[in-house]
A and B are shown apart, each in its own frame.
Chain A
């Protein structure tokens, strides 16, 4: 199953490499990884998505918790949560295609953020499957370049991940 794990780590040199190293060392895979400082400058928040059965995920969270730099973590997929990813995508947009692409962007509530006579650069946010769906809708033939941030997420309701 796909899981989203959010981790608060010390904003210290080497912390990120310890997390990433743990995954490669123990043969766990990382689908996506995002990391940035938080409002507390001593902490960074890292979100990673990974695939695995319950046993594997349990080992992953246990080993992450063992890292001295990891302060706290939560498996967001254990409860209801909000997941977002941002994608920037360049697509061919000339002739009849132009209107077609524009309609598609509207349906997915995206924005066209840059234009040339033959290209649109589009920004879309949402859960990863929505971004996948957009890519499918536009079709491989029109896609020129795709960049995605990877998932970040937060729990719904009162639940928070903080110290």
Chain B
């Protein structure tokens, strides 16, 4: 009945791994063909794959695991989805009802363990509740501020002999859950006035614009007002990366122009962004002259770290739509003179230290620079690939140098920063779009956290392109050790113990390509992407000593305090 409910919910794919407590459910999967199951090699990968699928499509990702170790292996992926507000339903098998609480074989309190990292959870008590709980779970996961929902199902309640009248509810009503949709119209008016009166405005948009399918509205707003716009790591693609008003990412590794413009702005329109500490730097020094308009569907995101002057609780698409209508109707126009001088200032910052006006890394070095690799991937994929990433320096280089023109193309773990996310997430994306070019930008550290999924790629013919920026180090850790621990590389190096990734890829039945010379880079990448139907693992040996810049000065720095290279700071 569980599988029938999933089918009625419109679930296409379930990412999972079987085990005792889930075997009745697996048997039900075997006996139908509507809901397709993808067998991963580790439950963490099931959650990341479902997560990648959700991020690429906007639909809810579905995971199925068994009790005990199956459930605990899923925890990292649930936390990853929770931190980035990704809609996901995780169904976990549980020991039989009468054994619960007895430390039965493979028993773990899944509802308890997952409690702080889920939007909600359910424990099924009667088989007859299954359809309604499934409906509620998908509804809660997808609406409002999205997030993961766990359904824990004791084995006896999925026994095929247990029959009951089945009806899948068309709608759910939860008296205690009414997510905000429209914003307060008085507040929206106030926001528009403030915005139109600004002399040094900036739009700071985040993952909520991607999640809330409002990118086209954001673009319309930016074009209408001709205001500068910056995106968070999670918001990349919400406004086109190659758009002329785009200042690049902001925050710890944001561009000089984005961070400096934020610091000097007088009005900030924050949409679907949550003033994360990786963005604000020292909160008490954050943008001292700015009035802040904050649009977010979750009231708890507003004034959590930085106090909003005009808070608007509502869905981005609805609120931006209303703002656009008001602006179009208004007689007031932005102050053209002030705006021109603001752009003059911003363009000057771009020229001086921007990473898009000039290459700020050493292009004459004969070592391969990681930044160049990302630029080359962007060229060969014409800027139109899905790019997933792991966590570390390679992630930041990808965020900075792959310019995303569309939303849902950049898929990474921002909030939790989960190494191991990239490859399984890429599988989920490729499941959703079989013809798409899907690239996983990774490091030799991160990829080894879920490398077993190369086998899943074989089974389901998922021709993901894995591009490993191999700096033979936990590079991000090494960078911090350079900066704060006098280059004492405590456990960030592997002492020649890395595997031969080319042979490893071949062992899984894939193509492995190693690049050691700078001159070969473009040709080898072209070779890689020409192999449309194959998984290709590119092991690219990059300069170990490269650091990610700009980088916020911490502690006690403001938005504009940045290191620009190993020798320059603002």
Contact = CB atoms under 8 A, between A and B. Distances in A.
Interface of A: 10, 13-14, 17-18, 21, 25, 55, 58-59, 62-63, 65-66, 68-72, 163
Given A17-B112, A17-B115, A163-B175, A68 B120 contact: yes
Contact of A62 (B111, B119, B299): B299
B300 A68 contact: no
A40 to B, nearest CB: 11
Interface of B: 111-112, 115-116, 119-121, 123, 125, 140, 174-177, 298-300, 303-304
B116 A21 contact: yes
A18 B115 contact: yes
A14 B123 contact: yes
A68 B115 contact: no
Contacts of B176: 10, 68-72
B120 A21 contact: no
Nearest to B136: A68
Contacts, number: 36
Contacts of B177: 68
B136 to A, nearest CB: 9
Contacts of B175: 71, 163
The prevalent SS among residues of A at the interface is helix
- Pick the most buried of B140, B174, B175, B300: most chain A CB atoms within 10 A of its CB: B300
- What 5 pairs across the A-B complex have the smallest Cβ distances? A62-B300, A71-B176, A68-B120, A25-B116, A62-B299
A14 to B, nearest CB: 6
Contact of A66 (B115, B125, B298): B298
Nearest to B147: A66
Contacts of A18: 115
5 contacts: A21-B115, A58-B303, A68-B119, A68-B140, A71-B176
Given A21-B116, A72-B176, 20 more contacts: A13-B125, A14-B111, A14-B115, A17-B115, A21-B115, A55-B303, A58-B303, A59-B300, A59-B304, A62-B299, A63-B300, A66-B298, A66-B299, A66-B300, A68-B119, A68-B140, A68-B176, A70-B176, A71-B175, A163-B175
A53 B123 CA distance: 36
Nearest to B299: A62
A59 B304 CA distance: 7
A65 B115 contact: no
Contacts of B121: 14
Contacts of B299: 62, 65-66
A66 B174 CA distance: 13
A113 B115 CA distance: 42
Contacts of B174: 68
Contacts of B298: 66
Contacts of A62: 299-300
A18 B112 CA distance: 9
Q: Report which residue of A18, A66, A70 has the largest number of chain B beta carbons within 10 angstroms of its beta carbon.
A: A66
Residue among A10, A62, A68, A69 having the largest count of chain B Cβ atoms under 10 Å:
A68
B110 to A, nearest CB: 11
A71 B111 CA distance: 20
A90 to B, nearest CB: 35
A53 to B, nearest CB: 13
A63 B119 CA distance: 11
Contacts of A25: 116
Contacts of A63: 300
Contacts of A71: 175-176
A134 B343 CA distance: 69
A68 B120 CA distance: 7
B114 to A, nearest CB: 11
Contacts of A14: 111, 115, 121, 123
Nearest to A15: B176
Nearest to B145: A66
Contacts of A72: 176
B420 to A, nearest CB: 24
Nearest to A70: B176
A71 B176 CA distance: 4
B311 to A, nearest CB: 11
B292 to A, nearest CB: 15
Contacts of B123: 13-14
Contacts of B303: 55, 58
B275 to A, nearest CB: 13
Contacts of A65: 299
Contacts of A58: 303
A55 B300 CA distance: 11
Nearest to B313: A62
A63 B116 CA distance: 12
Contacts of A66: 298-300
B109 to A, nearest CB: 10
A13 B125 CA distance: 10
Contacts of A69: 176
A1 to B, nearest CB: 18
Contacts of B115: 14, 17-18, 21
Nearest to B144: A66
A72 B119 CA distance: 18
Nearest to A14: B111
A27 to B, nearest CB: 12
B454 to A, nearest CB: 36
A62 B298 CA distance: 9
B410 to A, nearest CB: 27
A98 B115 CA distance: 51
A10 B125 CA distance: 16
